[in-house]
C-alpha cells in the first residue's frame, strides 16, 4: 500500500542539508514527490511530500528523522497525508499578485485576507524586505500565486485589492498565470 507523507525540516544553513534529506528518503525506500526549499535568514527551511510502500514505512521514517535531528541538528516533523496529491482544482484559474512598497506591518495579512474573502487559495508565496539602494528605506516585495474560482467576480477582487493597496500605500499588480505545461 502506497502512503504519502508531508515532511518539514529547518536548521542552520550549511552545505549538505539537501543531501542529508535526500539520503533519508532514499534509505527509507521512499520517493520524493514534491518539494520547496529555501534559505530564510540564516536558516534553511524545507517542505516536501514523499511516498513509500508497506506497513513499516512510517516507523522507518520516524527513526530516520530522529537520527537526523540528533546527528545533523535539524528540527524535523513529518505526518501522513490523506489521499493523493491533487492537481489544480477544476473550475479555478491560476493568477499572480505582486506587491511592492515601503515595508510596513500588515501587508501580507491584509492582502491574504482579501484573497480569502474572494475564495482564492494561495499556492505559493515569497516575500522579501531589502533596503533601497539609494535611500536605505526598507522596500517590501511579495510575489503570490493563487487559484481563484472561476465563479469569482474578478473585477470585485481587483477593486478590493486596489483599495487595500491604496490604504497601505503599495503598488499591486494582479495577472492571469500562464498554464503550466
Asked if residue 35 has pLDDT above 60, the reply is yes
Residues 6+ apart with CB under 8 A from 148: 92, 93, 94, 95, 118, 119, 120, 121, 154, 157
CA atoms of 63 and 122, how far apart (whole Å): 33
pLDDT value at residue 88: 61
What domains are there in the chain, each with its CATH number?
2-81 (3.30.70.260), 92-176 (3.30.70.260)
CA atoms of 7 and 58, how far apart (whole Å): 12
Question: What are the tens digits of pLDDT across the range 48-87?
Answer: 999 999 889 999 999 999 999 999 999 999 999 987 666 6
DSSP state of 87: -
Nine cell digits for residue 165: 493597496
pTM reported for the whole predicted model: 0.81
Question: What are the tens digits of pLDDT across the range 137-174?
Answer: 899 999 999 999 999 999 999 999 999 999 999 999 99
CA atoms of 158 and 146, how far apart (whole Å): 14
Q: What is the mean pLDDT of the chain?
A: 92
Amino acid at each position: 500500500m502506497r502512503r504519502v507523507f508531508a515532511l518539514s525540516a529547518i536548521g542552520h544553513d550549511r552545505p549538505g542539508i539537501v543531501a542529508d534529506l535526500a539520503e533519508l528518503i532514499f534509505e527509507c525506500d521512499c520517493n520524493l514527490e514534491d518539494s520547496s526549499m529555501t534559505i530564510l535568514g540564516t536558516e534553511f527551511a524545507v517542505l516536501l511530500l514523499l511516498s513509500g510502500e508497506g506497513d513499516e514505512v512510517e516507523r522507518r521514517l520516524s527513526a530516520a528523522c530522529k537520527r537526523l535531528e540528533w546527528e545533523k541538528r535539524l528540527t524535523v516533523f513529518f505526518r501522513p497525508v490523506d489521499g493523493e496529491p491533487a492537481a489544480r482544482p477544476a473550475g479555478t484559474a491560476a493568477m499572480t499578485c505582486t506587491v511592492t512598497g515601503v515595508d510596513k506591518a500588515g501587508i501580507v495579512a491584509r492582502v491574504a485576507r482579501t484573497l480569502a474573502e474572494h475564495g482564492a487559495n494561495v499556492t505559493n508565496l515569497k516575500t522579501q524586505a531589502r533596503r533601497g539602494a539609494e535611500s536605505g528605506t526598507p522596500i517590501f516585495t511579495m510575489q503570490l500565486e493563487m487559484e481563484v474560482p472561476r465563479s469569482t467576480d474578478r473585477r470585485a477582487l481587483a477593486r478590493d485589492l486596489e483599495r487595500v493597496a491604496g490604504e497601505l500605500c503599495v503598488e499591486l499588480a494582479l495577472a492571469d498565470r500562464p498554464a503550466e505545461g
